Amino acid sequence: MKDNELVAEGYVSVFIKVLRADSIYNTAPYFKEPIQNLKLVYGVPKNITLPEYADDENDQVIISITKMPLFVSLSFRNLTLTPTEEDIGIYELEIVLSDFSPN
């Protein structure tokens, strides 16, 4: 290096997490059976129990629904559907199983 040269250095912080070999892979939870499409009649409430689910790592699983219309409610694996005449139409519910793996 010559006396009139400037040297610039940069640093990057890197975080490293070391895991046990058996905890590296986390698969998504899944329903043990498929969920069937539904046809409802307004004014006639319906209760549906969602199929059992599994998680290969035995993590805690939470069920949630996106795009949930107001006439649908969820409690654990139980859906309660209470459509009114104003709810006539076609709806797509996205039922999501999430695990809370520490990995």
Look at residue 13 in the predicted model and tell me its pLDDT. Answer: 45
Chain segment 40-53, per-residue pLDDT in tens: 899 999 999 999 99
Q: What are the average pLDDT values for consecutive 10-residue runs of the chain, which has 103 residues?
A: 54 55 73 89 93 90 89 92 92 87 61
Q: How far, CA to CA in Å, does 20 sit from each of 17, 28, 57, 79, 94?
A: 10, 19, 14, 38, 34
Asked if 97 and 29 touch (Cβ cutoff 8 Å), the reply is: yes
Look at residue 86 in the predicted model and tell me its pLDDT. Answer: 93
Burial 49-70 (b: 16+ CB within 10 A, else e): ebeebebeeebeeebeeeeeee
The first and second tokens of residue 58, run together, are 């035995």
The first and second tokens of residue 10, run together, are 């940069």
pTM of the model: 0.69
Calculate what percentage of the chain has a pLDDT beyond 70: 74
